[in-house]
Amino acid sequence: MKLLVPVKRVVDYNVKVRVRADGSGVETAGVKMSMNPFDEIAVEEAVRLKEKGIATEVVAVSLGVAACGETIRTALAMGADRGILVETDAELQPLAVAKLLRAIAEREQPGLIILGKQAIDDDMNATGQMLAALLGWPQGTFASKVEIAGETVAVTREIDGGLETVSLSLPAIVTTDLRLNEPRYASLPNIMKARKKPIETLTPAALGVDPSPRLALVKVVEPAKRQAGKKVGSVAELVAKLKTEAKVI
C-alpha cells in the first residue's frame, strides 16, 4: 500500500513570530523555517508502517515556494521514498491545498493519506477534513494510534473527555495528534542518501487546479501585552482586591 504524506514548510516552532509592520501577516524573511511538527509525526508514522511491512512506499508532498523542496528532503531523510513538490508563489489556503492534494491522490492512488491535524503557522485544522470531503473518503482526525488490518484502519482519536476509536475502510484520511509517536531525527547517512531520492516538480496548472485564495486576510495584530502583576501584603488584602478590583476577562 502506498502512503501519501503532505508536509508543510512553516516558521520553526522555536521562533518568536513577529507581525509585519503593515499588519499584512507574519514576518517570514530571514526567519528559520522547518517542517510543521504534526507533519513530522505523520512522516514518522508512515515510515513505521513501511518498516512493519504494511506500507510499500511513502510519498512526501509539499505545496508552496521552491524552498518547500527542503521540507521534502527532510521527509526523505526520515525515510520517505520520493517527493512531489507543487511549486507556486500563490498564497495557499486550505481549500486550495485540499484540491491540489486531491489531484495528486487521483494520480497516485494511495491507500492512506496522513496529514498533520493542523499547521502551526495558521492553525487552520481544515485541510485533512476538506480533503476527505473532496475525495469522499472516511476520515480519522486527531489520531493517537493507527492500526491497519486488511482493508480497514482503526484510528484512536483524542477527543474532549477521552479517547474514541473509529474503524475506517481504506482508502482513508488520517490526521495526527501529538501523542501518536515521537519522530526520529534524520541521521547523517540518511541525509546523504536522501539527496539521491527523486523529487518530481509540478504546478497547480498542470494539476488543473486554480489555487486563488477564497478568504481575504483583513489584518494581523500582536496579542495585547500582559500587564505586570502586583504583590499583595496579606491574604486579607488579596481578598479585598478580588472583591473590588478583579474583573472577568
6 counts as binding ligand AMP under rule CB under 6 A: yes
Those residues with Cβ within 8 angstroms of residue 150's Cβ, 6 or more apart along the chain or in another chain: none
87 counts as binding ligand AMP under rule CB under 6 A: no
154 counts as binding ligand AMP under rule CB under 6 A: no
140 counts as binding ligand AMP under rule CB under 6 A: no
119 counts as binding ligand AMP under rule CB under 6 A: yes
Q: Name the grid cell of 97.
A: 491545498
Which one-letter amino acid corresponds to residue 210?
A: D
Distance separating alpha carbons of residues 155 and 176, to the nearest angstrom:
10
Q: Name the grid cell of 136.
A: 469522499
The residue among 156, 162, 113 whose CA lies nearest residue 134 is 113
Residue located via cell numbers 511549486: 87
- Binding residue for ligand AMP (CB under 6 A) from 3, 4, 8, 46? 8
194 counts as binding ligand AMP under rule CB under 6 A: no
* Segment contacting ligand AMP by CB under 6 A, of 113-121, 147-155, 188-196, 219-227: 113-121
CB-neighbour burial class of residue 122 (10 A; exposed 0-12, middle 13-18, buried 19+): middle
Residue located via cell numbers 500582559: 226
Those residues with Cβ within 8 angstroms of residue 209's Cβ, 6 or more apart along the chain or in another chain: 96, 99, 100, 103
Distance separating alpha carbons of residues 131 and 152, to the nearest angstrom:
19
38 counts as binding ligand AMP under rule CB under 6 A: yes
124 counts as binding ligand AMP under rule CB under 6 A: yes
7 counts as binding ligand AMP under rule CB under 6 A: yes
122 counts as binding ligand AMP under rule CB under 6 A: yes
> Segment 52-81, which members bind ligand AMP (CB under 6 A)?
61-64
Which one-letter amino acid corresponds to residue 115?
A: L
Q: Which of 15, 124 has the CB closer to ligand AMP? A: 124
126 counts as binding ligand AMP under rule CB under 6 A: yes
- Binding residue for ligand AMP (CB under 6 A) from 104, 115, 135, 202? 115
Residue 81: other Cβ atoms inside 10 A: 19
**Binding flags for ligand AMP, 173-192, as an x/- string (CB under 6 A):** --------------------
Contact positions vs ligand AMP (CB under 6 A): 6-8, 36, 38-39, 61-64, 92, 94, 97, 115-116, 118-119, 122, 124-128
